[in-house]
Structure 1
Amino acid sequence: MGRRRAIDQDGVLDAAERVVARNGAANLTVEAVAKEAGITKASVLYDHKSKQALIEAVVDRAFRRDDALHAQCEATVESEADLAIKGRLLAAAEPPAEEFRAAALNLSAALTLDPSLRKKMQESQASVVSRLLETSTSPRGALLAYLALEGLKFLEHLDFHHFPLEERSRLLREIHGLSQTLPREVELP
């Protein structure tokens, strides 16, 4: 009897990301992922019991990658003050890679439409906001800076707008400055 070939799970998830980028999460099929990975449908289903489980695995891996990137960036920050926002700014220093944008766009749609995936995103964002507030010398400034940074990333990741690199760098510096401020409340017009 022959030995079962070990399936590279990162390779399966890479293939799933490519399918999501090309076809959208709603159009992802186990068959398409298997074909993209060069394996059988049964091999995909062995570890990911359904299309939904496969999408969840892709999303979970994206969250782990994001967490690891921010932890890596925070590790390079010299001061503990404002650690979380500084790490986020460092992680955003480069615009998203072209091949990542399509997957980000299509996964965002899945996160929006699926209640269980949306809950994961809500929990992730709650954790980020809590960490920002805990590690900042100006919690309100850091929160406003985070909102500005996420707005910039939203425009780029969803391919709505791209700033020239020089302007983008300036915006990131200004967002960092915002994180250091003590905003005052003003009345809305």
Structure 2
Amino acid sequence: MGKTRKISTDDVLDAAERVVVRLGAVGLSIDEVAREAGISKSRVVYDFKTKSGLLNALVERRIRIDRERVAESVRQQRDSDNPPLFGRLTAAGALTSDSERAVALAICAASSHDEGVQAQFRQCTADDLTEVTREAKRPRASLVAYLAFYGLTIMEYFDLHQWSEVERAGLLQDIGTMYAAFPEI
């Protein structure tokens, strides 16, 4: 008798991301994820209930991974004028992978019809805005710099434009300079 293969929730979500990279948001289905993970459709349904549940789990995981990465960068920037802002700028220094962009695009496409995913995005954005401005010595400069950072990030995630590593680093540095030079009202 063979060993039963243990599949974790993360294994299923990894399979879902591979499906999204290969087939896009339209191709994301419980059947396709089960096939990719090598498990039964009933296992995916048991874990996630619906395609919407699977999508919500993908978003939750992406947000968690990003927040962990940002939290580490914020800790590294604890001596800066605004650790939450400069932590995000530092974390954004790494180029976005093709896989991350594909997943982000698919999630956004699918989220246009999913209130749960939209609510997660809204909450994540509200949390970011609060963190970047709450204890800032210069809240307006922090907000404007965050908006510039977010615009750069969204352009890359939506594959509207990709900067080279050098250009990206320069732009992130420019956002920091803009923060420092911004007149606080």
| SS of aligned partner of 1:113 | coil
Residues 138 and 184 of structure 2 are in contact (CA less than 8 Å); yes or no, is this contact kept in structure 1? no
Q: Is 1:148 aligned with 2:170?
A: no
Q: Deviations over 1:113-155 (max 9, x none)?
A: 3222111111110111011111322111111111111111111
Superposition deviation, residue 162 in structure 1? 1.3
- Aligned 1:69-148 pairs, distance under 5 A: 69-79=69-79, 81-148=81-148
For 1:135, what is the secondary structure of its paired residue? coil
How far off its partner does 1:19 sit? 1.2
Distance verdict in 2 for CA 1:115–1:78, change over 3 Å: closer
- Residues 138 and 180 of structure 1 are in contact (CA less than 8 Å); yes or no, is this contact kept in structure 2? no
Question: Counterparts of 1:138 and 1:181 in 2: how far apart (Å)?
Answer: 11
Contact in 2 for aligned 1:142/1:180 (Cα 8 Å) = no
108-117 vs 69-78, which moves further: 108-117
Give 2:16's aligned amino acid.
Answer: A
- For 1:12, the equivalent position in structure 2 comes to 12
What is the TM-score with the length of structure 2 in the denominator? 0.91
The amino acid that maps onto 2:117 is L
Residue by residue, what CA displacement relative to the aligned partner does 1:149-181 show, whole Å, maximum 9, x if unpaired? 111111111111112222221111010112223
3-state SS of paired residue (2:141): helix
In the superposition, the TM-score normalised over structure 1's length comes to 0.89
Q: How far did 1:184 drift?
A: 6.2
User: How many residues are treated as equivalent by the alignment?
Assistant: 185
Where 1:117 maps in the other structure, the secondary structure is: helix
- 1:91 aligned partner, one-letter code: A
**1:38 is matched by which residue type in structure 2?**
G
- Give the share of equivalent positions with the same residue, in percent: 36
CA RMSD of aligned residues (A): 2.1
Q: Which residue type is aligned with residue 153 of structure 2?
A: K
How far apart are the structure 2 equivalents of 1:168 and 1:147? 16
- Distance across 1 between alignment mates of 2:88 and 2:111: 21
Q: Which amino acid aligns with 1:55?
A: L
Q: Give the alignment of 1:17-36 within 5 angstroms.
A: 17-36=17-36
| Matched residue type, 2:91 | A
Distance (Å, rounded) in 1 between the aligned partners of 2:5 and 2:184? 62
Q: Who is 1:39 aligned against?
A: 39
Q: Which blocks of at least 5 consecutive residues in structure 1 are unaligned? A: none
